[in-house]
Amino acid sequence: MNKPKDHLSPLSSCCRLERVKLLEYEAKQLLADAGVLVPVSSLVQTSEALSLPLPVVLKSQVPIGGRGKLGGVQIIEQVAELADAVEALLVLDIKGYLPTVLLAEEKLLIQHEHYLALRIDRIEGVVQLMAHPKGGVEIETHTSGFFTRTFEPDQVEAIASQLALSWGYEETLPATLLQYLLTDLYDCFVANDATLLEINPLIYTTEGTFIAGDCKMELDDNAAFRHDWQFEAKSTETNFVTLDLAGTIATIANGAGLAMATVDAVADSGLVPANFLDIGGGSDIKSLLLAFERLMGFTHLQGIIINIVAGISRCDEIARAIIAAQAHIPTLPPLYIRLAGTNYEEAMELLTDAGIATLPTLEDCIIEAQEAHHL
């Protein structure tokens, strides 16, 4: 077979492949734009904001799969469960990621759950279709039963009927149903310069429709110049990193450079840093409080080092968050705080009134933390 290989030849080391990983809700928006059915949904950041009738499925929007098994997907049947579930999901760490938002979706009536994916096969220079009759959270455990073939758009009719057979539909499915779905998926894949589009599960409802229950999508960053991509996925990926679950010192800093320097200084001193956290500029009290609560997931903490050089962010905001954390988190370990920059005086006043001490440099924070460790 002759295939156009030139522009998709195997990637050599000369070419850097960057992938833009989308969050589920971002990927589903692209699916919907392409005509693929997705559940009726709304984004949720507080429990008051739900505009959907119950029951709903609440899903943590982190850029990683396996959420179902880690408690990141919750079915809410009663109004009374909602507030607690939203609050719990917003601080639930999933493999080192925290969501900034949750996706609430209508709960679908499931007849079958399939696996369906399109991806670029770089060796052959083609788009490949991969499917399995049994999708869902156990997909990694399937070692056989995959249907794999090259996806040629002009063969979509034949591919659709092969797929229907491999999924066990025999003659029961309207012939065009899968055909339209595959065409829309392929168009979505190409139009967005995707390298991966995975739907797991693809839900066949009791009403006889296919709806994307979940979607994982990666786009080719090299094509960014021809799109207006404004996805949140990238920023969520870099601002928090779990370094050591048994770490004894947590860190909070602003700016990636300062956050890295803080982690390095902690490690160099012989203390064990638990995490990297860059709170960025302009963090509000609420997101700072969430950060503190997230750190409480580390069970061996003996201290938190806070190292802020405020520019866009403001020391008084940080101070207010620290005071709120002291008041609301009874298990908060000792804080070693170094603040500098915008609104420093106001912050000092607030902290002094609250009886919270600060230190002049990061080095002082580390020395105090070391001394406390040796007690």
Nearer to Mn ion, 125 or 133 (CB): 133
Interface residue with Mn ion, options 93, 113, 214, 316 (CB under 5 A): 214
| Shortest distance (Å) from residue 139 CB to ligand GDP | 8
Residue 317 lies near Mn ion (rule: CB under 5 A) = no
Nearer to ligand GDP, 232 or 346 (CB): 232
**What, of ligand GDP, Mn ion, none, does residue 110 touch, CB below 5 to 8 Å by kind?**
ligand GDP
| Shortest distance (Å) from residue 200 CB to Mn ion | 4
Q: Which residues bind ligand GDP (CB under 6 A)?
A: 39, 57, 59, 65-68, 73, 105, 107-108, 110, 113, 136-137, 200-201, 213-214
Nearer to ligand GDP, 137 or 190 (CB): 137
Nearer to Mn ion, 200 or 236 (CB): 200
Among the residue ranges 213-221, 236-244, 251-259, 270-278, the one whose residues contact Mn ion (CB under 5 A): 213-221
Nearer to Mn ion, 200 or 254 (CB): 200
**What, of Mn ion, ligand GDP, none, does residue 198 touch, CB below 5 to 8 Å by kind?**
none
Residue 61 lies near Mn ion (rule: CB under 5 A) = no
SS (H, E, C) the chain: CCCCCHHHCCCCCCCCCCEEECCHHHHHHHHHHCCCCCCCEEEECCHHHCCCCCCEEEEECCCCCCCHHHCCEEEECCHHHHHHHHHHHHCCCECCECCCCEEEEECCCEEEEEEEEEEEECCCCEEEEEEECCCCCCHHHCCCCCEEEECCHHHHHHHHHHHHHHCCCCCCCCHHHHHHHHHHHHHHHHHCCEEEEEEEEEEEECCCCEEECCCEEEEEHHHHHHCCCCCCHHHHHHCEEECCCCCCEEEEECCHHHHHHHHHHHHHCCCCECEEEECCCCCCHHHHHHHHHHHCCCCCCCEEEEEEEECCCCHHHHHHHHHHHHHHCCCCCCEEEEEEECCHHHHHHHHHHCCCCCCCCHHHHHHHHHHHHHC
Residue 239 lies near Mn ion (rule: CB under 5 A) = no
Nearer to ligand GDP, 217 or 305 (CB): 217
How far apart, in Å, do the first and last CA atoms of the chain sit?
A: 73
Residue 105 lies near Mn ion (rule: CB under 5 A) = no
Which residue is closest to ligand GDP by CB?
A: 68
Nearer to ligand GDP, 68 or 341 (CB): 68
| Shortest distance (Å) from residue 99 CB to ligand GDP | 12
Q: Residue 329 and residue 289: Cα distance in Å, rounded?
A: 9
Nearer to ligand GDP, 27 or 252 (CB): 27
Pairing verdict, β 303-310 and 335-341? parallel
Nearer to ligand GDP, 198 or 317 (CB): 198
Closest among 340, 243, 248, 253 to 291, alpha carbons compared: 253
| Shortest distance (Å) from residue 67 CB to ligand GDP | 3
| Shortest distance (Å) from residue 180 CB to Mn ion | 22
| Shortest distance (Å) from residue 26 CB to ligand GDP | 14
Residue with token string 């919907």 = 32
| Shortest distance (Å) from residue 115 CB to Mn ion | 9
Residue 262: CB partners within 8 Å, gap ≥ 6? Answer: 251, 253, 305, 307, 362
| Shortest distance (Å) from residue 357 CB to ligand GDP | 43
| Shortest distance (Å) from residue 336 CB to Mn ion | 41
**What, of Mn ion, ligand GDP, none, does residue 26 touch, CB below 5 to 8 Å by kind?**
none
Which residues here bind Mn ion, judged by CB under 5 A?
200, 214
